Structure 1
Amino acid sequence: MTREAYSFVRTFPAEPARELRVDRHYLLCASAGTLRLEAQGQAWLLPPARAALIEAGRPIQVSIPQPVTTASVLFDPAFTAAPPSPLTVFDLDPLARALVGECAAWGESDEPLPAYARTMFAALAAVTWRLAERPSPVVVPAGRSPELRRALAATERLLGGEVTFEDIAAEVGLAPRSLARRFAQETGLTWQAVLRRMRVLRAVEELAGGDAPVTRIAYAVGYTSLSAFNTAFRDLTGRTPTQYRASFRP
C-alpha cells in the first residue's frame, strides 16, 4: 500500500498545457521556476512563493513556460480532511516552505511512514489548509467563449507593448462595445483590469525566473514608469516587486 502521504520532487522541461488529475489531495509547489494553472475559468501562475491545493480527483490544466523543479506533496483523502475549496492558490509562508522541505525526505513507497514523518505531513496539512482559506488575489480569468479566449490570448501576447482595447477588439472581430460586454459578463472585470493583472503575473514570472533588474522587468511587461509598476504590483500582491522576489529566495 502506498504511503498515506508522500513528497514528489522532480524537474520538468518547458512543455505545453496538459490535464492533471490525481486521486489524492495535491499540494503543488515549484521550488525553482514557474508553473501555470488553469481551471474553473481562471488562470494562475505559481512561482516558488506560491502553491496550489487541489482536491483529489479535480482536473486542472498545467503548463510549464520554463524549466521547473516541483516539490509537491500528495495526501491520501483518509489522512486529512478535504481542502477548504476544490482548488485554491495561495502564498506560502516561511513555516509552510520549511515543512515542504522537511517532507521532501519521504517519497512514494510501500513502506509505512515513521512517526516523525507522519507528524511532519500532518503539520504541513494543517498549515497549508489554513493558508488556503486566504486565496491569492493575483488571478486572471480564462474566459468561456471562443471570442473572449482569443481576446485574452491576444492581450497576453501584446502586453509588453502599447496595446489598446480597440486593437484587441479588431483582432477578434468584435466591436469594442461588444467585447467590453463580454469581459463584464464572463469575467466581472474590465479589459484594463485584466491587462493589469496579466502584467503583474508576467512580472511575477520574470522575478521568479532570474535576476533581471526590477526596472527592466517593469518596462518588459508594458510599464513606462517604475512607480506605476510598483503601485500596481503592490496593489495586487501586497508587496513591492523587490519584497516579492525576496520572499521566495533562500
Structure 2
Amino acid sequence: MTRKAYSFVRTFPREPAREFTMDRHYLLCASAGALRLEARGQAWLLPPARAALIAAGTTIQVSVPQPVTTASVLFDTGFVPAPPTPLTVFDLSPLARALVTECGAWRESDEPLPAYAETLFTALAAVSRRLAEQPSPVVVPAGRSPELRRALRLTEQRLGSDISFEDVAAEVGLAPRSLARRFEDETGMTWRAVLRRMRVLRAIEELAAGDTPITEIAFTVGYTSLSAFNAAFRQLTARTPTEYRASFRP
C-alpha cells in the first residue's frame, strides 16, 4: 500500500505542452526555472518560490519553457481534505518552504509513514490550503474558441515587437470589432489588458531564468520605457521586478 503522502524532486528539460491527471491531491513547487500550467481556460506561470495546489482528478496541461527543477508532494484523497479549487497558484511562505523541505525525506514507498511525518504532511496540507486563499494574480486567459486561442498565440509570439490589435485580427480572419467581442466574452478582459499580463508573465520567466538586467528584460518583452515596465509589473504583482526576483532566492 502506497504511503498516505510522499514527496519527490525531479528535473525536466524544455518540453512542449502535455496533459496529465493525478489521482492524488498535488502540491507542485518549482525550485529552479519555471513551469506553465493551463486548466479550465486559464494559464499560470510557476516560477521559484511559488506553488500550485491541484485537486485529484483535475486535468492540467503543463509546458516547460526552460529547464526546471520541481519539488512535489502528493496527498492521498482520504488523508487530507480536497483543495478549495481545482487549481490555485500562490506564493510559498517561509513556513511552507520549510515544510516542503522537511517532507522531502519521505519518498514513495509501501511502508507507512511514521507519526512525525504524518504530522508534517498534515501541517503542509493545512498551510497550503490557507495560502491558496490568496492566489497569485499572474494568470492569463487561455481562450475557448480556435480564433481567440490563435489570437492569444500570435500576441504571445510578438511580445517584443510593435504588435497591433488590428494586425492580430486580420491574421485570425476577424474584424477588430468581432475579435474585441471575443476577448470580452471569453476572457472578460480587453486585448490590451491581456497583452500587459502576457508581458509581465514573460518577464517573470526571464527573471527566473538568470541574472539578465531588468532593463534588458523590459525591452525584450516589448517596453521601451523602464518606468512603464516597472509600473505595469507592480500593478499586477504588487512588487517591483527586483523584489520579485529576490523572492525566488530566499
Measured against the shorter chain, the TM-score band is over 0.9
Q: Deviations over 1:144-163 (max 9, x none)?
A: 00000000000000011111
Distance 1:47 1:226 in 2: 22
Secondary structure, aligned partner of 1:70? strand
1:77 aligned residue? 77
Kindly provide the CA deviation profile for residues 77-104 of structure 1, in whole angstroms up to 9, marking residues without a partner as x: 1111110111111111221112111111
Question: Aligned partners of 2:42, 2:32: CA distance in 1, in Å?
Answer: 23
User: 1:216 corresponds to which letter in structure 2?
Assistant: E
1:132 is the counterpart of 2:132:
yes
**SS of residue paired to 1:229:** helix
**Where does structure 1 lack aligned partners over 5 or more consecutive residues?**
none
Alignment of 1:46-61 (within 5 A): 46-61=46-61
TM alignment of 1:103-114, pairs within 5 A: 103-114=103-114
Q: CA deviation at 1:115?
A: 1.8
Which residue of structure 1 lines up, in the alignment, with residue 141 of structure 2?
Answer: 141
1:1-250 equivalences in 2 (<5 Å): 1-250=1-250
Q: TM-score, normalised by structure 1?
A: 0.98
**Aligned counterparts of 1:99 and 1:206: Cα–Cα separation in 2:** 28
For residues 123 and 233 of structure 1, what CA distance do their matches in structure 2 show?
33
Provide the C-alpha distance between the structure 2 equivalents of 1:163 and 1:117, rounded to a whole number of angstroms: 52
* Equivalent AA in structure 2 for residue 140 of structure 1: V
Amino acid at match of 2:243: Q
How far did residue 49 of structure 1 move? 2.1
Query: Which letter maps to 1:131?
Result: L
Question: How far off its partner does 1:8 sit?
Answer: 1.6
| SS of the residue 2:11 aligns to | strand
> SS state of the match for residue 71, structure 1?
strand
d(CA) in 2 for partners of 1:106 and 1:248?
25
Shift of 1:66: 1.0
Superimposed CA distance per residue, residues 45-87 of structure 1 (whole angstroms, 9 cap, x where no aligned partner): 1001211111001100011111111101000011111101111
Tell me, what secondary structure is at the counterpart of 1:26? strand
User: How many Å apart are 1:176 and its aligned residue?
Assistant: 0.7
* Root-mean-square deviation (Å): 0.8
The list of structure 1 runs, each at least 4 consecutive aligned residues, that deviate by more than 3 angstroms after superposition, is: none
Matched residue type, 2:71: A
Alpha-carbon distance, 1:122 to partner: 1.1
Describe the SS at the equivalent of 1:211.
coil
Runs of at least 5 residues in structure 2 that lack an aligned partner in the other structure: none
Report the Cα distance in structure 2 between the residues aligned to 1:120 and 1:236, rounded to whole angstroms.
33
TM-score (structure 2 length as normaliser): 0.98
Identity %: 80
Q: Distance in 1 between matches of 2:31 and 2:118?
A: 22
**Partner-residue secondary structure (3-state), 1:20:** strand
Q: 3-state SS of the aligned residue for 2:229?
A: helix
Q: C-alpha distance in 2, partners of 1:103/1:242?
A: 30
